[in-house]
Amino acid sequence: KQEVTQIPAALSVPEGENLVLNCSFTDSAIYNLQWFRQDPGKGLTSLLLIQSSQREQTSGRLNASLDKSSGRSTLYIAASQPGDSATYLCAARFMEYGNKLVFGAGTILRVKS
Amino acid sequence: DAGVIQSPRHEVTEMGQEVTLRCKPISGHDYLFWYRQTMMRGLELLIYFNNNVPIDDSGMPEDRFSAKMPNASFSTLKIQPSEPRDSAVYFCASSLPGTGVETQYFGPGTRLLVL
């Protein structure tokens, strides 16, 4: 069974700090990996999608990297703000499963002002 | 565009009752997904449709769960009979034609509590 694991489960940082969220997946045979944000009581919003042939994607203060060989992805958030407080989930599309996304349990981020 | 619409937003019911969750995908989207999110199991895909046809229902936990998509603008997820362990947040998502499953737009979810 293919799985996605995220560490840490929760993270609390002061405003302005740079931070890294980690995601690992059990099989390097993936089509892509995606990072989502979930606000309390809301659905998920896609942040960044990295195709298997790519090493990283950037959007504003967010940078996601992908290392298929080691089964890892990181989400880097620069100069964190209180508005970044949310749960961040990564999801892998394993080739074995076709069109199904497998989600990690998420990292709950709190940025203190 | 109003985004993916789900109803009801909250549902409280008693064990044994039938529960029907509804979803209206974004107009023009051709994939529709039903997910369940719990603290214990995280976010799990239950079933997804492509052009109104169920493609993969391997995530549907039991025969008590059923899903339909009678047309491109409406889908239902039904639980009959409901049990306390079905308590969760149920999300519906849809994706753009030609982009497959990557570009999923999620609805706000239905929070279900079965007493």
- How does pLDDT run across A61-112, given as a tens digit for each residue? 999 999 999 999 999 999 999 999 999 999 999 999 887 899 999 999 999 9
Cα dihedral B81→B86→B88→B93 (10° resolution): -60
Q: Are A93 and B101 in contact (CB under 8 A)?
A: yes
3-state secondary structure A56-95: EEEECCEEEEEECCCCEEEEEECCCCHHHCEEEEEEEEEH
* Cβ of residue A49 closer than 8 Å to a chain B Cβ: yes
From the list B4, B59, B102, the residue facing A49 with the nearest CB is B102
Contact B103 A46 (CB under 8 A): yes
Among the listed residues A50, A48, A12, A30, the one whose alpha carbon sits nearest the alpha carbon of residue A101 = A30
- How does pLDDT run across B61-110, given as a tens digit for each residue? 889 999 999 999 999 999 999 999 999 999 999 988 666 566 788 999 99
Contact A99 B108 (CB under 8 A): no
Contact B56 A99 (CB under 8 A): yes
Pull the structure tokens for residue A66: 């992908």
Among the listed residues B115, B23, B16, B105, the one whose alpha carbon sits nearest the alpha carbon of residue B69 = B23
Residues of B in contact with A45 (CB under 8 A): 106
